[in-house]
Amino acid sequence: MEVLKDRASSRSFSSEKLPLQTLSNLLWAAFGINRPDSGKRTAPSALNWQEIDIYVALPEALYIYAAREHELTQIVKEDIRALTGGQPFVKDAPVNLVYVADLSKTDSAGKQGADLYTAADTGFISQNVYLFCASEGLATVVRGSIDREKLAKAMKLRQDQQIILAQTVGFPQK
């Protein structure tokens, strides 16, 4: 009840980095494996596609969250935070998550089904992040306003990957 009461969007972030353990917990809460026997996750996914990848834009590099290993794998050794959205706070906030659908996993649903389900699946992950942030006193906002073409290029995405939403996380600006 408490985290639901505190869940909110905020657009004012400190540039202070998150402790590594907090980042680790954040990603597990977002879409980690909570049932190792089946490999299922903290968020539901249509047809258990598990098609949403979480890219993590940090000051030092862009990473992808590898849920099975619970590790970050480096994708681009550059600070691409400024490209994750048009709003001024994104370039200074310590963490920008980018939710990317792997469309190679959604073939069975056709284009309309894939559009619907990838958006829905992203929403559950985003809400997990909102609730984790509420529990930790962190600020967050999910964002749709993104130059997807430019960002996809910087992230070196394949043709069959689609950016759905981004989400900024950090300590609130004091």
The residue ranges that bind ligand FMN (CB under 6 A) are 8-9, 11, 87, 141-145, 165
Output 57 or 165, the one with its CB closest to ligand FMN: 165
Which residue's CB is nearer to ligand FMN, number 29 or number 142?
142
**Residue nearer to ligand FMN on the CB measure, 26 or 93:** 93
- 64 vs 131 by CB, closer to ligand FMN: 131
Q: How far is the CB of 91 from ligand FMN (least distance, A)?
A: 14
CA 64 remoteness from chain centre:
10
| C-beta of residue 131 within 8 angstroms of C-beta of residue 89 | no
Minimum Å gap between C-beta 165 and ligand FMN is: 6
Q: Count other Cβ atoms within 10 Å, centred on residue 21.
A: 8
Cα–Cα distance, 73 to 170 (Å, whole number): 21
Given 3-state DSSP classes, what are the helix, strand and coil percentages for the chain, each rounded to the nearest 5?
A: 40, 25, 35
Instruction: Give min distance, CB of 93 to ligand FMN, in A.
Output: 12
User: CB of 82 within 8 A of CB of 5?
Assistant: no
CB-based contacts of 105, cutoff 8 Å, min separation 6: 49, 50, 51
Q: Tell me how far, at minimum, the Cβ of 9 lies from ligand FMN, in Å.
A: 3
Cβ contact 78:10 at 8 Å: no
Nearest to ligand FMN of 72, 90 (CB atom): 90
What minimum distance in Å lies between the beta carbon of 30 and ligand FMN? 15
Count of residues for the chain?
174
